[in-house]
Amino acid sequence: MFAIDLSNKNALVMGVANHRSLSWAIARALHEAGARLCLTYAGERLKSTVEELAPQAGGAITLPCDVTDEASVQALAERLTREWGSLQVLVHGIAFANKEDLEGTFVHTSRAGFFTALDVSAYSFIHVTGKLLPLLENSGASVLTLSYLAAERAVPNYNVMGSAKAVLEQSVRQLAYELGPKNIRVNAISAGPVSTLAARGITGFLGMQKHHAEKAPLKRNVTTEEVGTAALFLLSELVSGITGEILYVDAGYHMMGA
């Protein structure tokens, strides 16, 4: 009675770089639940990797989409309109900041670096949701993005990405408010540190992961699979009453006080 069945649901999962990506774990969980999938990747460099993964997700459609390129976002919206005509699931697993802004001092963040991080990691969530709104409306759709605790706490070296995640989490609430009347739910998962391409770009990431594992109540790090299944839960009808929520999937680390 409580099984998650997403058969006949169309799901777009953005930000697959490789088999370690959180977006890929979410795509796999959605596939297991029966969803029809489209995976997007940032550019040509990732094309063959994502095409090789697609058969493991039911022969998912694979498309390039650079969220900083308007033509690319437009092409994605047009293709999904032609291909499916409606979208029940949208997953945004995209973030980027310049390497020099993820080390050294936050106080010296460049204006260009600040705008780049916020553009790719936060604005893109608002923009893509808006572009796909005609497909999401009247579909009982669910939208999800991926955040991190640095949205609300100071985390060494996370620097400008913490600012981007704070904007992202507020955008979740604002979108949830605005899109609720259209029966669209908007939520985020705040994941504990998982070794992915993006995470390894953060100076001192491995030390941070070790610290989380030592201090978290579960005494370990979370796995990509745990992020995938938690995402499936949030995207499913089981939580049709939840929107505007940030769900921590971090082995309990976030609620510790000392």
Q: Which residues bind ligand NAP (CB under 6 A)?
A: 15-17, 20-23, 41-43, 46, 65-68, 93-96, 120, 146-148, 191, 193-194, 196-199
Burial of 53 by CB count in 10 Å (0-12 exposed, 13-18 middle, 19+ buried)?
buried
Q: Which of 41, 148, 248, 253 is catalytic?
A: 148
Q: Which is nearer to ligand NAP, 139 or 144 (CB)?
A: 144
Catalytic: 253?
A: no
Q: Which is nearer to ligand NAP, 41 or 139 (CB)?
A: 41
Q: Which is nearer to ligand NAP, 16 or 246 (CB)?
A: 16
Catalytic: 148?
A: yes
Q: Which of 158, 177, 248, 253 is catalytic?
A: 158
Buried b (16+ CB within 10 A) or exposed e, 182-205: eebbbbbbbbbbbebebbebbeeb
Burial of 44 by CB count in 10 Å (0-12 exposed, 13-18 middle, 19+ buried)?
exposed
Cβ-contact 189, 224 below 8 angstroms: no
Cβ at position 80, least distance to ligand NAP in Å: 16
Residues in the chain: 258
Cβ at position 44, least distance to ligand NAP in Å: 10
Q: Which is nearer to ligand NAP, 93 or 113 (CB)?
A: 93
Q: Which two tokens stand for residue 71?
A: 């033509």
Cβ at position 45, least distance to ligand NAP in Å: 6
CA proximity to 90, closest of 162, 177, 188: 188
Cβ at position 69, least distance to ligand NAP in Å: 8
Sign for the CA dihedral angle at 18, 22, 165, 100 comes to negative
Point out the residues that are catalytic: 148, 158
